[in-house]
C-alpha cells in the first residue's frame, strides 16, 4: 500500500493491490452492485466466483457474463474473501445459515453497507476479518466509470482485524472495483451506516421527494398549470443537481442568473429554517439510537404491508401522471441510459 496522506489521515491515494497474490473472491448476489463489483474485480485480475441461489433470476445473467456460478454455500467455502452484496434484510439469515458455517477460518467478510453489523443483526465469527467497501454511486455507474479508466469514489472501514491485514484486504478490493482511482476515504461501520441512512432519508430521497411534491402542490393549488409546475419543480431539478455534482454550490452560482441567486439566497432559509433543521436532527437521532433500524426490521418481518402502501401512495401522486405524459414527448430520454435498479446499495 502507499503511505497515508499525512494532511488527511484517513485518506489513501492510489491504493494498489498486492502484486504477489490476488485472493479468490466470492461475490454473493448479482444485482446492481454485485454485477458491477464482479465484472470490475475480474477485469482487475481477481479470481471471482458468483454465489447465487440455483434457478434464481440473476443466475442466467451471471453465467451469460462468463462467471462460474455456484450455490452461495459452495462459493463461500472456496473463497479468501466473501463479499455480501444482497439486500440488507436478507443478509442476517444468509449469514447465519450459509456464510458462517462455510466460510474458511481467517477469511475476510466484506459488506457494501454497514447496517446489519452496526445494528447487531449480524455478529461476525471472531476469527474473520470484517471490512466494508462502499462505492458512492449505483452499480451501473461503478461499472461504467471503471470501463473508461476512472472510478467512483468509495469509503472503506475495518470492523475486525484478525489477520493484521484487514485494511490491506479492503483496499485491495476497493482498488479492484476502481474505487481507489478517485481516493478511498477511511470511515467506520457506524459512520458509513448512519450518514448513509441520514442522506437517503433527509436529503437525497425522502427530503428531495417531499420538497418536489410540496412545491408542485403549492403551484397547482394556486391555480398554475400542472405541466408548468412539473417543469419548474421536478424537471429542472436535474440541471441544478448536475451543477452540484460537477462543482458544488459554487458552480451552481456560476451558471444561474443573478435573479435566481438573489431569490435562493434570500428565500432558501424561509423553506429550510430552524424547524427543518430540528426535524433533521430528529431523523438523525432515530438513526443513531436504532429507532429507524428497529422499525424497518419489524416492518420487513411483518410482511412490508405499510412499506408497500406508502410506496404506492408515492407512485400514485398526481405529479407522476403529469410527468409520465410530458416525458413521453422527451424523445432524448429513450436514448438515455436505463435508470439504476431500485436496490443500488447491495443488490
Q: Which residues are annotated as a binding site for substrate?
A: 257
Task: Give the helix ranges, DSSP H, for the chain.
Answer: 32-43, 59-64, 72-77, 91-94, 100-102, 115-118, 139-147, 166-176, 189-198, 206-221, 226-230, 237-255, 258-271, 274-288, 291-301, 305-315, 318-327
Nearest residue to 83 via CA among 156, 163, 1, 182: 156
Edge to edge, the sheet with strand 154-160 lists: 11-12, 184-186, 154-160, 129-135, 108-111, 81-84, 24-28, 47-51, 68-70
For 87, the 3-state DSSP assignment is coil
- Residues making up the annotated binding site for Mg(2+) are 196, 200, 232, 236
C-alpha cell at 192: 458509513
- Residues making up the annotated binding site are 30-33, 53, 58, 139, 196, 200, 232, 236, 257
User: What is the DSSP pairing of strand 184-186 with strand 11-12?
Assistant: antiparallel
Distances in Å between the Cα of 32 and the Cα atoms of 5, 112, 143, 192, 196 are 32, 12, 10, 19, 17
Positions marked catalytic: 113
Amino acid at each position: 500500500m502507499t503511505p497515508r496522506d499525512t494532511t488527511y489521515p484517513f485518506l489513501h491515494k492510489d491504493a494498489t493491490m498486492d502484486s504477489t497474490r490476488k485472493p479468490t473472491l466470492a461475490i454473493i448476489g448479482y444485482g446492481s452492485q454485485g454485477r458491477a463489483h464482479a465484472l470490475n474485480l475480474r477485469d482487475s485480475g481477481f479470481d471471482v466466483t458468483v454465489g447465487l441461489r440455483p434457478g434464481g433470476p440473476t443466475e442466467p445473467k451471471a453465467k451469460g457474463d462468463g462467471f462460474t456460478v455456484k450455490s452461495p454455500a459452495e462459493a463461500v467455502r472456496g473463497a479468501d474473501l466473501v463479499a455480501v452484496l444482497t439486500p440488507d434484510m436478507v443478509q442476517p439469515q444468509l449469514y447465519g445459515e450459509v456464510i458462517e458455517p462455510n466460510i474458511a477460518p481467517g477469511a475476510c467478510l466484506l459488506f457494501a453497507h454497514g447496517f446489519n453489523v452496526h445494528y447487531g443483526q449480524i455478529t461476525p465469527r471472531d476469527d474473520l476479518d470484517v471490512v466494508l467497501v462502499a462505492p458512492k454511486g449505483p452499480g451501473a455507474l461503478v461499472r461504467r466509470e471503471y470501463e473508461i479508466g476512472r472510478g467512483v469514489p468509495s469509503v472503506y472501514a475495518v470492523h475486525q482485524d484478525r489477520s493484521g491485514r484487514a485494511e490491506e484486504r479492503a483496499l485491495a478490493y476497493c482498488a479492484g472495483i476502481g474505487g481507489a482511482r478517485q481516493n478511498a476515504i477511511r470511515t467506520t461501520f457506524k459512520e458509513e451506516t448512519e450518514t448513509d441512512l441520514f442522506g437517503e432519508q433527509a436529503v437525497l430521497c425522502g427530503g428531495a421527494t417531499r420538497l418536489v411534491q410540496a412545491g408542485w402542490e403549492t403551484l397547482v393549488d394556486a391555480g398554475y398549470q400542472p405541466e408548468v409546475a412539473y417543469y419548474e419543480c421536478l424537471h429542472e431539478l436535474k440541471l441544478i443537481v448536475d451543477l452540484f455534482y460537477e462543482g458544488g454550490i459554487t458552480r451552481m452560482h456560476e451558471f444561474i442568473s443573478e435573479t435566481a441567486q438573489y431569490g435562493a439566497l434570500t428565500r432558501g432559509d424561509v423553506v429550510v429554517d430552524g424547524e427543518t433543521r430540528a426535524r433533521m436532527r430528529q431523523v438523525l437521532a432515530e438513526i443513531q439510537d436504532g429507532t429507524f433500524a428497529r422499525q424497518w426490521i419489524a416492518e420487513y418481518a411483518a410482511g412490508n404491508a405499510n412499506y408497500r402502501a406508502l410506496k404506492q401512495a408515492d407512485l400514485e401522486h398526481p405529479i407522476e401522471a403529469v410527468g409520465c405524459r410530458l416525458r413521453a414527448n422527451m424523445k432524448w430520454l429513450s436514448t438515455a441510459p436505463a435508470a439504476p435498479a431500485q436496490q443500488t446499495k447491495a443488490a
